[in-house]
Amino acid sequence: MIINLSPQRRDDSLEVVRAGNSLVINGETFDFSRMSDGDTLPSSAIKSEWFVGDVNKEEGELTLTLILPNPLNYSPEQAFPVPLHDVPDGLIEFPAPLPEVSSETVSEVQG
């Protein structure tokens, strides 16, 4: 499975678990096991705000794009994410944000 990421500045969270040809996104299951090689599932057939574009299956591999919500303290890796290749079953790890800066830390730096 190849997951491309489309970053958006958002405050919500995304948890994705892969289970074979299915993805569980924030608790909702999307099963792509009925797709055959050469199939394309148009984005209009997927009832989820998290998918961007079509889902394709080529040479036994699913390729899709998900929105990657970026918090205020987003990292360069979140702003410019690389595609995730050979995604294994289990919880998918996405790029992490920068550490949050507290008002105390800002005061210390400004000194």
Summarised one tens digit per residue, pLDDT across range 51-94 is: 999 999 999 999 999 999 999 999 999 999 999 999 999 999 99
pLDDT value at residue 100: 85
Average pLDDT, the chain: 93
SS3 44: helix
109/103 Cα distance (integer angstroms)? 10
106 vs 59: which has the higher pLDDT: 59
How sure is the predictor about 103, in pLDDT bands with cuts at 50, 70 and 90?
A: low
CA distance 47 to 52: 11
Separation CA 100–CA 105 (nearest Å) = 10
pLDDT tens-digit series, residues 11-61: 999 999 999 999 999 999 999 999 999 999 999 999 999 999 999 999 999
Kindly report the backbone phi and psi dihedral angles of residue 57, in degrees, each rounded to the nearest multiple of 5, phi listed first. -130, 115
